[in-house]
Amino acid sequence: MYWNAEPMSRELDILRRELIGTRNVTTMRKDFYNYGNDLNKITQSFITDVKKQAEKKKMNKVSLLAIIRD
C-alpha cells in the first residue's frame, strides 16, 4: 500500500493547485465585476452632479458638453 501513497499525494497536490487557481480566477472575475459596478456608480454620480450644476447655472447644452469634455 505504501508504494501507491506518493503518486496519490502528487495527484492531490495537482488537484489542490488547480482548485486554488480556479478560486483565484473566480475572485478576479468578482473583482472585475465589482470594479465595473463602481465605475458605473461613479459615472452616474458625475452625470448627476453635472446636470445639477447645469440646472443651477441655467446652462445650455453646448456649455454643458464643454464641462464634460474638460
Per-residue pLDDT of 15-56, as tens digits, reads 777 777 766 777 777 777 788 788 888 888 888 887 887 777
C-alpha 20: how far from chain center:
20
Q: What is the Cα–Cα distance from 42 to 36, expressed in whole angstroms?
A: 10
Reported confidence tier of residue 2, pLDDT bands at 50, 70, 90 = very low
pTM: 0.44
C-alpha cell at 12: 492531490
Q: Where are the domains of the chain?
A: 2-69
